[in-house]
Amino acid sequence: MYMKKSIAAHEKVLNRAIITSSITSEVIKLCTVVIAIALGAFIRIPLPFTPVPITAQTFFVLLGSAYLGRRLAPLAIGMYLALGIMGLPFFTESGGGLGVLLGPTGGYLIGFWIVSLFIGKYRNACRSFQRALVLFFIASMIILISGTICLALCFALSAKTAIYLGMLPFLPGECMKVFIAALIFAKVRAMHT
């Protein structure tokens, strides 16, 4: 009888430790992705002809969303956006506050959250580098289109001008980020299967 109670008590402690470590692990993953995206805002190249700089954020959004998956990716991007809106310098040019979402880069930030849903939903179908490449390319285009639409609305630009300022200058860099993110994702996935 004593042995059964002792085993039951140990199982209870073990289960509690597993649940706690699982929650801790998820919190660490979320914070890691949020911090990576925030740091990506500081890796920036300003362009003289557009109010939108080139940053490393999209790279971390793509990879972070694939890493976290369907349930955690939207939460991480939501946390990133919420912390930036609350005033932390998480957006490009150390910006923060609600005004950033209403400015020239706001559409790209909104696109990050849309992409987290998209990648989270389809990442399990990416069993090869080629599929990851397609998934990340589509996701990158979602960010660029979202950003371009908001840029056009923010500055009352024609569609053609908005595309010239908000999409075309970023395509070469986005293709490079997509390629590297897909390569990393495919390699990591191959190691875990």
The 10s digit of each residue's pLDDT in 117-159 is 999 999 888 888 999 999 999 999 999 999 999 999 989 999 9
| CA–CA separation, 181 and 132 (whole Å) | 8
Of 8-12, 18-22, 71-75, the one with minimum mean pLDDT is 8-12
- Please tell me the distance from the alpha carbon of residue 175 to that of residue 46, in angstroms, as a whole number: 18
Tell me the CATH class for 2-191.
mainly alpha
Q: Where are the domains of the chain?
A: 2-191
* Averaged confidence pLDDT in the chain: 88
**pTM for the whole structure:** 0.86
How many Å separate Cα 185 from the centre of its chain? 14
| Measured distance CA(94)–CA(88) in Å, rounded | 8
pLDDT of residue 175 exceeding 90: yes
Rounded to whole angstroms, the Cα distance separating 7 from 61 reads: 45
**Cβ-contact 166, 147 below 8 angstroms:** yes
Pairwise CA distance, residues 115 & 125, whole Å: 16
Q: 99: which 2 tokens?
A: 């005004």
Instruction: Encode pLDDT of 7-16 as tens digits.
Output: 555 555 545 5
Pick 93 or 172 by higher pLDDT: 172
CB 177 within 8 A of CB 140: yes
pLDDT digits (tens, 9 = 90+) for 79-104: 999 999 998 888 876 677 788 888 88
